[in-house]
């Protein structure tokens, strides 16, 4: 159900449905960690969807770009020794981004949402959904103010992972 209580898919699909795919981040969403930008991104997405209509899909079980919470904490330990978020995941033997978008695509399609305005700074997310057969009409940027604690994380996302920040 959308933020306004109407069923998903009920609004004008001509312009695409505003969607945030938010991957659960226990440290950022629940504990308010400043190491990443997930908490503020989720808050902003909920606010925007409340204003404009749309949906936030909260996907569980793919913590830390898909490596799991325990490995994410291991990656944080490597980051404390100087690696960036990308290097740390690679050092642990994981790909840069191990998230699976199949589940998200199934949920969206079942809800009749196949033309999307995706709330993200990450073009790879749009590509992943397109590979699953969905149409991404627009990337709607997430504007989150950096903090001293996450500035390196955001720089890595921008410079090494193609995020539009």
Binding residues for Zn ion, per CB under 5 A?
Answer: 25, 28, 36, 38
Catalytic-residue membership of 99: yes
Exposure string for 64-98, b = 16+ CB within 10 A, e = fewer: bbbbeeebbebbbebbeeebbbbbbbeeeebeebe
Question: Is 47 or 149 the residue whose CB approaches Zn ion more closely?
Answer: 149
CA distance 47 to 127: 25
Please, what is the minimum distance in Å from the beta carbon of residue 36 to Zn ion? 3
Query: What count of other Cβ atoms lies within 10 Å of the Cβ of residue 105?
Result: 20
Question: Is 55 or 62 the residue whose CB approaches Zn ion more closely?
Answer: 62
Catalytic residue among 74, 97, 115, 117: 97
125 and 161 in contact (C-beta within 8 Å)? no
Catalytic-residue membership of 100: no
Please, what is the minimum distance in Å from the beta carbon of residue 15 to Zn ion? 29
Question: Is 17 or 22 the residue whose CB approaches Zn ion more closely?
Answer: 22
Please, what is the minimum distance in Å from the beta carbon of residue 33 to Zn ion? 7
Catalytic residue among 20, 35, 65, 99: 99
Structure tokens at 17: 């449905």
Active site residues: 97, 99
């Amino acid at each position: 159900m959308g933020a306004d209580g109407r069923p998903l898919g009920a609004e004008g699909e001509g312009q695409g449905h505003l969607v945030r795919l938010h991957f659960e981040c226990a440290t950022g969403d629940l504990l308010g960690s400043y190491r990443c930008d997930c908490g503020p991104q989720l808050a902003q997405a909920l606010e925007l969807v409340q204003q404009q209509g749309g949906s936030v899909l909260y996907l569980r079980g793919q913590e830390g770009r898909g490596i799991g919470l325990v490995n994410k904490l291991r990656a944080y330990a490597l980051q404390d020794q100087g690696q960036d978020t990308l290097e740390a995941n690679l050092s642990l033997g994981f790909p840069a981004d191990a998230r699976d978008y199949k589940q998200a695509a199934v949920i969206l399609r079942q809800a009749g949402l196949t033309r999307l305005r995706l709330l993200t700074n990450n073009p790879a997310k749009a590509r992943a959904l397109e590979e699953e057969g969905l149409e991404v009409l627009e990337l709607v940027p997430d504007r989150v103010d950096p903090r001293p604690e996450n500035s390196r994380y955001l720089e890595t996302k921008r410079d090494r992972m193609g995020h539009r920040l």
